[in-house]
Structure 1
């Protein structure tokens, strides 16, 4: 079944990306993705709920993730000026620096993971489908 092969490809690639980011930069994959979303957001900030949706986590998981990033100095919290109940996560300069350093590791690891998966005949067609849009972006 295609879905099962997709799940296998996803799991393999995610595991390799997570290991490379942790080993090279002390970041988990969700932490990297949160920093990437924050860096791309206007003013480098997102409401916690927006960030949760952008990285595919629930509210309590993103709260714990942001606590780790804050402890490392990579993000900070800010209150919404218009609605004091609204809490934003804001990427710091240190967070932007770490993201910049980790991005090349992420890209190299993604390519390597896809290369390894491409060697599996059961995954080759999916790898090709994934690489199609990636190749077009370059």
Structure 2
């Protein structure tokens, strides 16, 4: 039963975040998270497999995600200097700017979604736990 409540909270919050980012910035939630992970990584770059794990996607999904980000000029690919088979995704200045612009929307939407979910008595304990973590 607890897992079902967690899944419900997660689904509600994710839906609100996705709508807000798409509406306000033309970004999908996975795109936003990928930009955030890249921005935080040393040198602003991650191997594609590392990025997939960091955002919870499989290899083919992260490849499509990175292709969309590249097409929009927010990332670029780079070959690993030591192992030419390794491919990195690298955040660009445009990607950093887009992330900076979208972060306040993400944070406001997260707070609002948690506030709204906290009104539901079955979700209140989970919302409190998330806020205190």
* Superposition TM-score, scaled by structure 2 size: 0.99
Report the equivalent of 2:11. Answer: 11
User: Unmatched 5+ residue regions in structure 1?
Assistant: 134-138
Residues 43-122 of structure 1 aligned to structure 2 (within 5 Å): 43-122=43-122
- Deviation string 1:75-122 (CA, Å, 9 cap, x unpaired) is 000001111110000000000000000000000000000000001001
Question: 2 CA distance for matches of 1:75 and 1:45?
Answer: 9
Question: 1 CA distance for matches of 2:125 and 2:17?
Answer: 21
**RMSD of aligned C-alpha atoms?**
0.3
* Superposition TM-score, scaled by structure 1 size: 0.96
Count of matched residue positions in the alignment of Structure 1 and Structure 2: 133
- Per-residue deviation at 1:52? 0.2
User: Unmatched 5+ residue regions in structure 2?
Assistant: none
- Deviation string 1:50-83 (CA, Å, 9 cap, x unpaired) is 0000000000000000000000000000001111
Paired residue secondary structure (1:110): helix
Runs of 4+ in 1 over 2 A off after TM superposition: none
Question: 2 CA distance for matches of 1:49 and 1:98?
Answer: 23
Report the equivalent of 1:131. Answer: 131
Question: 2 CA distance for matches of 1:21 and 1:72?
Answer: 16
